[in-house]
Amino acid sequence: MTTFETFLEGQKANGLSGELIAVLAEIAQATRKISDTLKTSALDGLTGATEETNVQGETQKPLDILSNDILLDACRKVPSVSFAVSEELDAEVAIHAGGKYAVIFDPLDGSSNLDVNVTVGTIFSVIEAKTAQDILKTGRHQLIAGYAAYGPQTTLVLTTGKGVQIFTLNGDGIYVLTTADAKIVPEAKEFAINAARRASWDDVVAAYIEDAIDSGHNMRWVGSMVADTHRIFNRGGVFLYPADRNKPASGGRLRLLYEANPIGLLVEAAGGEAIIGDSKILDIEPTGLHQRVPVIFGSKAEVDKLAAAYGARVLEAAAE
Ligand code: P6P
């Protein structure tokens, strides 16, 4: 049995720095704490909503704040952490003056599902950043990316740049390696999109979904990105959260730094593709901590169809 701890020993032998191993170990410990907290949250009066709203304009839930605090405490335990960036906080938080790694996270993604006991998750990313300005770099600079999915099982999915590993939390609070080199199947007949927003889709997405339905594809939409992502790791498929064609400046709903980038690195490391139209997510130059982008990722054959359609549209526009 390979545990997370023995995995880290292997990572050290493969050259991952002791500092990054310490960061990853504390993030994993934070996800264990969040998992434990969620299990009894309804008994501990931690459900419902607070009177607070976050920088996104979303009503904060007690568990959003608690999960955020658990991750900030984890960052403070590691001297090499310079900054923390969170969906729940307006600006970056200075952690250790001499630090060199920024930890970027969505502490509890999909928290609107908490009161209905549906899988939610923590999404995290680690980059080298000695100054606040260093934080705004493309997703290709991520050194570590991953998520924890808190569902019937608690699973930790991560990459340190070489493949994707999946761990499952056992009854003793130990993460056990259950998939050593996760791959996303290139072909799949299942898409994830919020079909209620059909009026906001651009013509590429609308045509793709219509064709998928005509071809007998299935649809799943959990309303929790981590849950939809984990399904795609398990059986393939494509996830789409396109920009609203009526509000192009909004960029979409999902955030680049702590949702699209970490998921994009994991997906590419598992042989999938992650795009925003004719560009790859990991090549987008960030302009702000909470920048939103359209997101399409999953099985390579399906995402390539969409990328080709966007590419053709760019060529048509250039020819006009
Ligand atoms: P909608 C959760 O709030 C989230 O950021 C993602 O986890 C999820 O995929 C998406 O929003 C759901 O959005 O518009 O369907 O509620």
How do residues 94-119 score in pLDDT, each as one tens digit? 999 999 999 999 999 998 898 899 99
Residue nearest to atom 16 of ligand 1 (CA): 223
Give the integer Cα–Cα distance in Å for 168 and 156: 6
pLDDT of residue 14: 92
CB contact at 8 A, 249 and 312:
no
Residue 254 Cα to ligand 1 middle (Å): 8
Residue nearest to atom 9 of ligand 1 (CA): 225
Q: Is 224 in the pocket of ligand 1 (CB under 6 A)?
A: yes
Query: How many Cα atoms occupy the beta-carbon half-sphere of 243 within 13 Å?
Result: 15
CB contact at 8 A, 238 and 303:
yes
| Terminal Cα-to-Cα distance of the chain (whole angstroms) | 60
CB contact at 8 A, 263 and 274:
yes
CA distances 128 to 73, 141, 166, 240, 255, Å, are 19, 8, 24, 29, 19
Checking if the pLDDT of 7 tops 80, the result is: yes
How do residues 305-314 score in pLDDT, each as one tens digit? 999 999 988 8
Q: Is 2 in the pocket of ligand 1 (CB under 6 A)?
A: no
Percentage of residues of the chain with pLDDT beyond 90: 86
Residue 231 Cα to ligand 1 middle (Å): 15
Average of pLDDT values for 123-139?
A: 98
pLDDT of residue 29: 98
Q: Is 98 exposed, middle or buried (0-12, 13-18, 19+ CB in 10 A)?
A: exposed
Residue with tokens 């995402």: 303
Locate all alpha helices (DSSP H) within 46-110, ordered by sequence: 62-76
The edge-to-edge listing of strands for the beta sheet with 101-109 is 93-94, 81-86, 101-109, 120-128, 144-150, 154-159, 165-169, 175-179
* 45-59, 158-172, 177-191, 236-250: least confidently modelled range: 45-59
Structure tokens at 93: 């938080």
Checking if the pLDDT of 48 tops 80, the result is: no
pLDDT of residue 185: 98
Checking if the pLDDT of 50 tops 80, the result is: no
Residue with tokens 């130990």: 174
pLDDT of residue 60: 77
pLDDT of residue 232: 98
Which of 114, 115, 121 is closest to 147 using CA atoms? 121
pLDDT of residue 58: 75
Confidence of residue 235 (pLDDT cuts 50, 70, 90): very high
Structure tokens at 75: 């960052």
CA distances 10 to 21, 137, 168, 239, Å, are 11, 28, 18, 33
Stated as kind and residue range, the H or E segment containing 139 is none
Checking if the pLDDT of 51 tops 80, the result is: no
CA distances 306 to 18, 171, 248, 257, Å, are 41, 42, 18, 23
Confidence of residue 317 (pLDDT cuts 50, 70, 90): confident
Confidence of residue 142 (pLDDT cuts 50, 70, 90): very high
pLDDT of residue 252: 87
Checking if the pLDDT of 177 tops 80, the result is: yes
What CATH number has the domain spanning 4-179?
3.30.540.10
Ligand 1 binding pocket mutation candidate from 61, 64, 253 (most atoms within 8 A of CB) = 253
Within 8 A by CB and 6+ apart from 53, the residues are 59, 60
Checking if the pLDDT of 47 tops 80, the result is: no
Confidence of residue 320 (pLDDT cuts 50, 70, 90): confident
Per DSSP, what are the bridge partners of residue 62? none
Average of pLDDT values for 265-282?
A: 96
Tally: H helices and E strands in the chain:
7, 16
pLDDT of residue 46: 84
Confidence of residue 237 (pLDDT cuts 50, 70, 90): very high
Residue nearest to atom 14 of ligand 1 (CA): 194
pLDDT of residue 264: 98
Ligand 1 binding pocket mutation candidate from 222, 225, 293, 295 (most atoms within 8 A of CB) = 225
The residue extents of the domains of the chain are 4-179, 190-319
Ligand 1 binding pocket mutation candidate from 219, 224, 240, 290 (most atoms within 8 A of CB) = 224
What CATH number has the domain spanning 190-319?
3.40.190.80
Checking if the pLDDT of 93 tops 80, the result is: yes
Give the integer Cα–Cα distance in Å for 170 and 191: 31
Average of pLDDT values for 295-309?
A: 97
